[in-house]
Structure 1
């Protein structure tokens, strides 16, 4: 048994969410689907849990009803090495009703928050030259989706 799994509570979209996420992340797989039995809190055969893996993180999507909603206090960070990766995750995770936010944050169509973060941004913000790091921070604060070229431009200005 795995030592830790992220559990995501959905009203009745667990299977849809699992299929959505595994279609976006190249290194992903569907692990298991369990269904509610007769006399359960949801109709018999409805997905109870859907387990899947994205990169090295295992998730369990639970159809638990409308009692809880996602909020920004929990997010998943996706580190990207290229602008192509940033664009891929940004465009796909905001598709179908997702919402862009600031500084690389977004909400997908289920309301789950993600941070699409280029490693170049992290590396430049950690620079020992505090003035360069400050310029990078100021540039990032003006962005929704992070633009690596603009981060590099700010760093080198």
Structure 2
């Protein structure tokens, strides 16, 4: 386990969420499922209490704490996708599983967890040495829902419509 592992609070479906999350990326797996040795405010003895899982090589914990707490955009999970194809695949999987598209590469999964799905190299167009190109790429991004690497590149290069 990593020295620091983000812990995501769920009502009662941490195991279901973790089982879905590990299908999104290579180097992902369920590491351990801990059942509660006694009753607690969110559940009963024997219920799944904690799910430890690895997602893309990073360890996480899913805690069934009961009392659904709404997530917000203050914390999100950002995936640096290998390319546009991986971006499209991960985005589609989250969306097909009850996700909600937002804007600028943000999507919420069906549990309300916020994700940023970013094709590798996208930020290079926002931070490139050509300030006018970076501004064009930024404006293009502001109009996107799912990020499009080719469109950002075209905007940066001044080739976008």
Structure-1-length-normalised TM-score: 0.94
Unaligned runs of 5+ in 2: none
1:3-152 equivalences under 5 Å are 3-41=3-41, 42-152=43-153
**SS at 1:24's partner residue?**
coil
Q: Which moved more, 1:30-39 or 1:2-11?
A: 30-39
Question: Cα deviations across residues 20-73 of structure 1 (Å, max 9, x unaligned)?
Answer: 001112210111110012434412221000000011211100000025221111
* Distance change in 2, residues 1:116/1:39 (3 Å): closer
Q: Which moved more, 1:97-106 or 1:116-125?
A: 116-125
8 Å CA contact retained: 2:2, 2:58: no
How far 1:140 moved relative to its partner? Answer: 0.4
**SS at 1:90's partner residue?**
helix
* Distance change in 2, residues 1:118/1:62 (3 Å): same
Structure-2-length-normalised TM-score: 0.92
How far 1:119 moved relative to its partner? Answer: 2.3
Question: Cα deviations across residues 101-128 of structure 1 (Å, max 9, x unaligned)?
Answer: 0000010011000001122221111111
Question: Cα deviations across residues 122-147 of structure 1 (Å, max 9, x unaligned)?
Answer: 11111111000000000000000011
Distance 1:116 1:53 in 2: 18
**SS at 2:29's partner residue?**
strand
Aligned residues: 157
**SS at 2:118's partner residue?**
strand
CA RMSD after TM alignment: 1.3
